[in-house]
Structure 1
Amino acid sequence: MAINLNIQRHSFQPGAMSIIQMGEELIGHPSTAINELVKNGYDADALNCKVYFHHSKNPTESFAFVFDNGSGMDDNTLFGDWLKPSVSSKRRANAKSKTFKRHLLGSKGIGRLAAMALGESVTVISKKEKRNLYNWITINRESFRRDKLLSEVYFPGDSIDVFDKLFKDEKYYSERSCFKNESLLRVLNMVSLNDFNNGTLIVIERLDSSVLKIIAEDFNQTEIFNEPSIKGTSFYKSLSALITPLRINSDIQAELLDKEIIHKENLISTKDSAFSVEFGINLIPNQGANEVDWQEIEPIPVQSVYDFRAYGKVNSKGDLKGFLDYKRLIKYSYEETLEIPFSEIINESINGKDLSLEMFSDQKKQVNETGEYYFDIRIYDIGEKDNLEKLALEAGFESGMKFRTAFKDFQGLRISKNGFGVKPYGEEVEDWIGLSKARVQNPGQNVNTNQILGYVFFYSPENDILEEKTNREGFLENRAFMQVKSTMSVLFKNIGRKRYNYRLLHGIGRVPSSRHTRPDIEEFRSVLNSNNISQIRNYSEKFLKDVTTSMDNLEDSLSFAERLASLGGSVELIYHEMAQPISALRNTKSSLNFKKERIDAEIADSFLNDIDTLHHSTDIIAELRSSLQPAIGRTRKKKFKPRDTFFKVLNLFKNDIFDNKIEIIFDKELDDYEIVDLEYAFWISFLNIVNNAVYWIKKAGRGGEIRFLLEGDSLVVSNSGPFINDDILDLIFSYGVTTRQEKNATGLGLAFTQSVLSRNNWAVSAINRDNGPAFIIKKLENE
């Protein structure tokens, strides 16, 4: 039986200020407002969009306009749907434009209000093709700054045959609460925009003081380009960043198709779709009073050159696949594959705490929610003068300084959605994945935002889970976007380590041949005594560089020594402190065994099981303590069997060896092989070598072998893991060199192995054999 409740229904009655809040107050930067208007033109199937600013010390004479030659709006649209904020036909799934099938960029329904962030009065003039009349509407934002309902605010709008009447006839500009602006009329006539066949013209009158200030400051700065300084202005740079991915979108996909990384192009429009943006302003030097020197917005200028480049895709499963291109040295240029499975990204995120544990803690959530997307990142060694000049020459700049200045304007990792840049990534917010923090912690193996220029490419409908914020200042921080940030973070860690190894291999930067090499003071004195000023200057620069390198090495060595001393002290403390609780546990077991006869029969079995568990756990702890024994008393040499030391190390990896089905193979000749030496040196060496072997076999995910062999007078530890990259085979014992990808990988383990063995007159080397990498420990002659 239905119950008829007589309950009243209600609805919101928005206040007039809501328009101000959705327009002027929501837009973070005036350039964002211009970008929104340009994107609306793109959605309207425009082929060209013009942006013009007119600066004047008299604010009433200042204005700006944005014109697009798109489809235009009829009276039903302009006087109907356009006046319904937050209502948008673009919000439907996979929405596309009518003519060029472009993925629509706007869906919030408030981008139309962006112009209110630029000036006091906004006039929209629009015309459909083959229509005789223009539709127009003028909104004065000051009329909304009242304590009344939105529905009570009215503003003028109608159809008109010649729209310049709106700006020159008193009855019209008075109705619009504006003044006659001769400069506006002159410029519209000058650029042939006093009449158009189809499209939309948005005119902003009486520009805000903040907009005028930005323009004035831009043109007061020293010119950094040979071309007019318009290219260095905030609005030009913002538009350049906006349309750059539109230009390079096809290029990156063509490369990925050629490399068979992708198998189908992700089209953002029909092939015959083109879109250009032109920018003009009245402050361009040497521009005639009766002309507008339109500057076509060009893509970011420095992207054509680079030292390193990573490009590829993250597939729907979250696996990263691509390439890393090395071009730092022309003589040593090559490209290698770059692959990071999603499982590794998850582990990095959890272990490195890049994301909250909740992000991946649920097994069901261990999926890539973002969908497939692409990336193209260029890395620059911009801090080295010779390389800076090389980059400038390749990019067509007069000097390294001009290249650096231009690069600084566009540096960072940016985001593109459907071919257009997304603010604020790479602009107001350069470091959105935390590169600066990682570089401070480990500068050699991490790159910073001021060394990169790159894009991450997203598309509809594949990546529509990434939703822009209402203020157009980035994506909502949902799970999908956090996964993107984590993936990019792991990618940059890989790039940083590979770049570090490359630079070390080829002696780039302050890379010493030995950590213990000192500057040659005697040679420096000899040079100072010469009369060759040029030689003295050049050698002085080299000597200062060597001194700085030595100081860096000393600082690193002291830091490393402090860490080792602290670690050694901690191990020794743990070793000694474990003795008492182990003894107590054994005494407890004996006491319990003595009392077990007095236990009630019903619980006797359970009691005996508990005793056995206690006994087993005590044995494990005692065994662990025994495995640490070689780390104690490190300064005393004694007779020992390397086989026994190796067993103690394996015991520390017992669970990993069992879980990953790793077979341990021993040479029988080691059963009776003894040496007299410092056991600690071999324990720490085996520990680091086995640790690496377990890591790489585990990473391969197919089981494997660790072999301990005696070959003549050499001890050999080999494994069935992947080969060591030939490029760094001779460098893996250098400080900081590592190909491991966890956040805590330092590249110090093998460096310390070589150091501790060499101090005891042993050498260690690495080679790739047919059955995997092998580490050879050999006694040096003439102890």
Structure 2
Amino acid sequence: MDMCPMSDKPHFDISAAVVKQLGEELVSDEITALIELVKNAYDADASYVNVVIDTNSWPSEKLFYSENANNSTKPGYILIEDDGIGMTESEIDKGWLTISFSAKREMRKTGELTPKKKRTPLGKKGVGRLSTQRLGSCLELFTQKDPEFTNASEQNVLYHVAFDWNDFSEDKALSDVPVELKSTITKKHVRGTRLFITNLREPGVWLGEAQQKIIGQLSQLIFPFEEVRSFNVYLTINGIRFDLQTISSSLRDVSLSRFEFSFDKNGDQKLILSGKLKLPRLKGLGEEKEDIYNQILARDRGKAFYNYLVDRNNRFSISNLEYMGKEGWFVFFEQTLDLRSVSGLALDKHGNLANPGKFHGEIDEFLFRGVNLEPLEDIYSKGADYKEFVGQHVGIRIYRDGFGIRPYGFEGNDWLSLGGGQTSGRSFYGLRPRNVIGYVALTAQENSQLEEKTDREGFIDNPYSRNFSLIMGKFVGILDVFFNNLRRSYNEFKKLYAIQQTGQPFSDNVFEEIHETTAAAQTIEKQVIKLNQGLDEITDSVQGIVSRVQQTPLLASQEERKLSPVLAEAGEKLSEARTMVRELLALLGRLKHLESRAIALEAEVEILEDQLTQFSELAGLGLTAEALSHEIHTVADNLAEKTKQLTEAIRTKKVVHIDIVTYTEYVHSAISALRKQLSHLAPSLRYVRETKDEISIQDFFDDLREFYTGRDGRFKGTGIKITIEKPFDNFTLLINKGKLTQIADNLILNSEYWLKEAVRRKEIEDPEITIRSEYPFLSIFDNGLGIDRSIENSIFQPFVTTKPKNIGRGLGLFIVRELLDSSGCGITLLPETNHFGRRYIFQIDFTGVVNGSQK
């Protein structure tokens, strides 16, 4: 069949309506559209952008679409004006009018910077200009190229481009959409771009309550920390100039705590976190009474408490801490973590760690009640204004070259799960999402691999964005541990303080009534002392009269003789009253000491409640595991019996089918492996863990090695081997086998996780766990990276871990220590270091459970 010749060369075309639809889908709201246009000004090397919104008037500029033109528009316009380098005719034609073409994309790819300000362009998709249709239908562009960056023929040439989004209809091809372009010679050497948008789509968005919301959102999306804002945005609405809100240094000075963080600052792939904290942070949000705080902390500006915080005998001690004691700050904290210590990091396509690039940031924590606003009296006249402003800016937001990236930290988005710490058991005392203002500062140059989605709502999911989230999660994890240890140390310190004051441990009485009783006692004590003095005087006077009448009755008056019996009886009652008042004074003295004991009792109860809450979930898991173990035993027994019956039936009928035989053998093997796992789990369950067993160290760890590295062991296919070092001192322990199993499992499973990480990252090739016995000590270590130096002094504290939050709770080594401690034993991280320069050997002292002195 012959084809008819075509007059034109075949080619694809596109309906103009598709472009309009694309713009509608890419830009979700007016603020996003406005920000895209502001970013264009930034990329054009502008030092400022002026945004003018007028919902009532026509622009004074002579426009193609105007009230006096043939193409009339309704009143109202938006002007975006900048002092950037402008565009030439060829740049307009090949760049601005070509959808999806972006010279910026090539600049980012090659690392080329803008000519004047040396910026890495933010735009790269070439579709930002489509955002204008979200604001209005008619668009007119006036642009003049900076003479420094153009040839003589285009200097002093002003270009005017105009088109109407309503012309992008389904019945038109994109190339058929009418576009007006003309040029004018000017007398001035000026530069920059003015973009007019008329026929506004939603004028009401810029008015009334909606106006305040728009201003607030714009303030948040343009970097609000005034000291580091490098690009100015000015906003005028209907003739009224609005200053975009900034977060000043004076506001941040009233914060309770301030932390700064950075990653790869010096090109060494290190996480650095530093910060300072004010003493009132320990009062919490009105939960601690002022008198208790003043009595324990404020009296010496926290010096005694600081000494307790850094004391290694305090199980919640904090390392890398310095006392400040000036300008309202209590302590300074700093911690450095090597990137290799962060587990779960994704690899790039070459098998290397996907580095998201250098970044830094800050987190400030604020208290809404009891804040001293004196430093801010020129800004906030009352606490409500301060609270409203902080409330508008709460959240930890991500900015790239000064422009916010949604949804991170905006409109309540808690992307770092700060609120989750209060419900998951991770941290009861850490940062709260509604009390922090912070930022993460990225740049297009350093963080080019963190790509934003086309709709500008978050990062594209790739290895770099996942690692960025892990690193930020690690910063939050360090702060969780810091605040937990700080508060728990405070609770312990309150208890010790009370004991030091009274010489006695805390009372077992109900402390809710003690505060009221001691307060009442202090109120009446002075009155009782005065009453006691008066009783002494009256009693002595009455007794004097009675004695004189009784000894010399003839010298006494008739009235005195008549009153003598009454006075004698009154004297006896007064003596009894004086005795009772003295006993009351002694009782009041004892009551005064109950206040300090109540403080200790409150601290102890708070610690216990905290621990109960923290471990309730784990206890529930333990009960579930116990019930599941019984159920699996039953299922395994039934499955074994049914398989046995099936096997016998096959043999009886002499049916030989290779698939059935293979299947039954597989079931037998699976049941055997399942029972082996259950037998390992069983000693750790409640119903058998109360008994103590005589256990040979040699036999126990031989069995443990077989369990992990045997034919069906846990380490099958991982390449991990367990070596029992020779010579190996064998001795007998008197300890519950389940408890010993839990201790060994926690240590070995911890090694397993980090060895797998090291192999995945190609840091080691032959993963190995070594067990060494030197009576009465047993050491367990591996050839992985070792313990990160930042946590080596707190490794046995609860919730200390460098694993991701969704993988590790930081309780394994804490549980090991508690289990050993309950048996009179201990565990230590030896000071010896490996070839990575890290400590790595865990040594258990079994002295408390050695059965005799026999090796």
Say yes or no: TM over 0.5.
yes
SS in 2 for 1:112: helix
Rate the CA distance shift 1:129–1:704 in 2: closer, same or farther, 3 A: closer
SS in 2 for 1:345: coil
Q: Deviations over 1:196-241 (max 9, x none)?
A: 822211233454435x4345326668xxxxxxxx9x6333332336
Cα separation, 2, equivalents of 1:568 and 1:669: 34
Report the equivalent of 1:775: 844
Judged with a 3 Å threshold, the aligned counterparts in structure 2 of structure 1 residues 91 and 6 are, in CA distance, closer, same or farther, namely farther
Seen in structure 2, the aligned counterparts of structure 1 residues 682 and 587 have a Cα distance that, compared at 3 Å, is: farther
Cα offset for 1:774? 1.9
Which one of the candidate residues 430, 448, 464 is aligned to 1:484? 464
Q: Which residue of 2 aligns with 1:652?
A: 707
Superposed, 1:168-179 pairs within 5 Å as: none
Say whether 1:325 aligns with 2:301. Answer: no
Distance 2:647 2:266 in 1: 56
Other structure's SS at 1:333 match: strand
Which residue is equivalent to 1:310? Answer: 261
Per the alignment, residue 746 of structure 1 pairs with: 809
What amino acid is aligned across from residue 737 of structure 2 in structure 1?
A: E
SS in 2 for 1:233: helix
Distance 2:103 2:127 in 1: 12
SS of 2:28 mapped into structure 1: coil
Q: Which of 57, 62, 66 is the matching residue for 2:80?
A: 66
- Following the alignment from structure 1 to structure 2, what is the Cα–Cα distance between the partners of residues 15 and 705? 66
* Partner of residue 121, structure 2: 104
Counting only pairs closer than 5 Å after superposition, residues 401-412 of structure 1 correspond to structure 2 as 406=389, 408-410=391-393, 412=395
Percent identity of equivalent pairs: 19
User: What SS is found at the alignment partner of 2:725?
Assistant: strand
Cross-structure match for 1:527: 515
Q: Secondary structure of 2:161's match? A: strand
- 2:131 corresponds in structure 1 to 114
* CA gap 1:540/1:38 in 2 versus in 1, 3 angstroms: farther
**Structure 1 residues 65-74 or 741-750, which shifts more?**
741-750
Candidates 235, 245, 251, aligned match of 2:218: 235
Q: Measure the CA separation in 2 of the matches of 1:345 and 1:730.
A: 23
Question: Cα RMSD (Å) of the superposition?
Answer: 5.8
Query: Which residue type is aligned with residue 360 of structure 2?
Result: D
574 and 282 in structure 1: CA distance in 2 versus 1, 3 angstrom threshold: closer
Change (3 A) 1:778 1:736: farther
2:825–2:844: 8 Å Cα contact kept in structure 1?
no
Deviations, residues 424-468 of structure 1 (Å, cap 9, x unaligned): 544369456777668754542997765573336354598369365
* Pairwise CA distance, 1:494: 2.7
1:33 aligns with 33
Shift of 1:528: 0.4
Measure, in 1, the Cα distance between the counterparts of 2:599 and 2:511: 14
- Matched residue SS, 1:747: coil
**CA–CA distance in 2 between the matches of 1:29 and 1:467?**
17
What SS does the corresponding residue of 1:21 show, helix, strand or coil?
A: helix
Corresponding residue for residue 679 of structure 1:
737
Q: Does 1:279 align with 2:259?
A: no
Equivalent residue letter for 1:340: L
**Partner SS, residue 208 of structure 2:** helix
Specify every segment of 5 or more residues in structure 2 that has no aligned partner in the other structure, as ranges: 59-72, 148-154, 279-321, 324-330, 496-504, 524-591, 657-661, 759-763, 834-840, 851-855
Q: Which residue of 2 aligns with 1:204?
A: 197
Kindly provide the CA deviation profile for residues 494-517 of structure 1, in whole angstroms up to 9, marking residues without a partner as x.
3343223322333369977899x9
- DSSP-derived class of the 1:85 partner: coil
Matches within 5 A, 1:138-537: 138-142=162-166, 144=168, 148=172, 154=178, 158-160=182-184, 197-205=190-198, 207-209=200-202, 212-217=204-209, 233-240=216-223, 247=228, 276-282=231-237, 295=243, 307-313=258-264, 321-328=270-277, 331=323, 332-341=331-340, 344-346=343-345, 365=349, 367=351, 373-382=357-366, 406=389, 408-410=391-393, 412=395, 414-415=397-398, 420-427=403-410, 430-431=413-414, 441-444=424-427, 451=436, 453-455=438-440, 457=442, 459=444, 463=448, 466=451, 468-469=453-454, 471-475=455-459, 477=460, 481-507=461-487, 521-529=509-517, 530-531=519-520
Instruction: State the SS of the aligned residue for 1:659.
Output: coil
Give the 3-state SS of the residue equivalent to 2:462 in structure 1. Answer: helix
Between the aligned partners of 2:596 and 2:200, the Cα distance in structure 1 is 55
Aligned counterparts of 2:353 and 2:813: Cα–Cα separation in 1: 38
- Spell out the pairing of 1:555-634 with structure 2 (5 A cutoff): 555-571=613-629, 574=632, 627-628=680-681, 630-631=683-684, 633-634=688-689
Moved more, 120-129 or 305-314: 305-314
Partner secondary structure for residue 507 of structure 1: helix
Change (3 A) 1:730 1:334: closer
Matched-pair contact (CA < 8 Å) for 2:491–2:604? no
**Contact in 1 for aligned 2:82/2:193 (Cα 8 Å):** yes
Match of 2:159 in 1: 135
Are the equivalent residues in 1 in contact too, given 2:416–2:476 (CA < 8 A)? Answer: no
What is the alpha-carbon distance in structure 2 between the residues aligned to residue 384 and residue 541 of structure 1? 26
What one-letter code is carried by the residue in structure 1 that aligns with 2:515?
A: V
Task: Determine if contact 1:240/1:299 at 8 Å carries over to the other structure.
Answer: no
Deviation at 1:107, TM superposition (A): 3.8
Q: How many residues are matched?
A: 665
In the alignment, the residues of structure 2 paired with residue 107 and residue 497 of structure 1 have an alpha-carbon distance, to the nearest angstrom, of 35
CA–CA separation in structure 2 for the residues paired with 1:514 and 1:693: 38
SS for the counterpart of 1:762 is: coil
1-structure distance, mates of 2:706, 2:374: 53
For residues 556 and 768 of structure 1, what CA distance do their matches in structure 2 show? 29
Q: 1:333: how far off?
A: 2.9
| Aligned residues of 1:414 and 1:421 also touching (Cα < 8 A) | yes
Q: 2:725 corresponds to which residue?
A: 665
Paired with 1:240 and 1:707, the residues of 2 have a C-alpha distance of 54
CA drift of 1:30 comes to: 1.7
Structure 1 residues 118 and 103, CA gap change in structure 2 (3 angstroms): same
In 1: Cα distance, 2:800 partner to 2:265 partner: 27
Deviation at 1:558, TM superposition (A): 3.6
The verdict on how the C-alpha distance between 1:142 and 1:406 changes in structure 2, with shifts beyond 3 A counting, is same
Q: Residue by residue, what CA displacement relative to the aligned partner does 1:303-341 show, whole Å, maximum 9, x if unpaired?
A: 89864443214999xx95332324346635343332334
Match of 1:38, SS state, is helix
Q: 1:172 matched to which residue of 2?
A: none
- Cα distance in structure 1, aligned partners of 2:604 and 2:452: 51
Alpha-carbon distance in 1 for matches of 2:398, 2:355: 15
- Given the superposition, is the C-alpha separation of residues 314 and 753 from structure 1 closer, same or farther in structure 2, using an over 3 Å criterion? same
Task: Tell me the alpha carbon deviations over residues 625-644 of structure 1, each in whole angstroms, 9 at most, x when there is no partner.
Answer: 65456347333344443443
Alignment of 1:680-719 (within 5 A): 680-695=738-753, 701=764, 706-709=770-773, 711=775, 716-719=778-781
Alpha-carbon shift at residue 139 of structure 1 (Å): 3.6
* Residue of structure 2 equivalent to 1:227: none
Q: Counterpart of 2:623 in 1: which secondary structure?
A: helix
Q: Give the alignment's TM-score, normalised by structure 2.
A: 0.61
TM-fit CA distance, 1:155 = 5.9
Contact 2:81–2:192 under 8 Å retained in 1: yes
**Equivalent of 1:766, from 812, 820, 828?**
828
Change beyond 3 A, Cα 1:709–1:573: farther
| SS of alignment partner, residue 506 of structure 1 | helix
Shift in Å, 1:66: 1.6
1:765/1:141 CA distance change after superposition, 3 Å? same
Instruction: Tell me how far 1:703 sits from its aligned partner.
Output: 5.3
| 1:278 Cα deviation after fit | 3.4
Matches of 2:787 and 2:180 in 1, distance apart? 74
- For residues 692 and 23 of structure 1, the distance between their equivalents in structure 2, rounded to whole angstroms, comes to 51
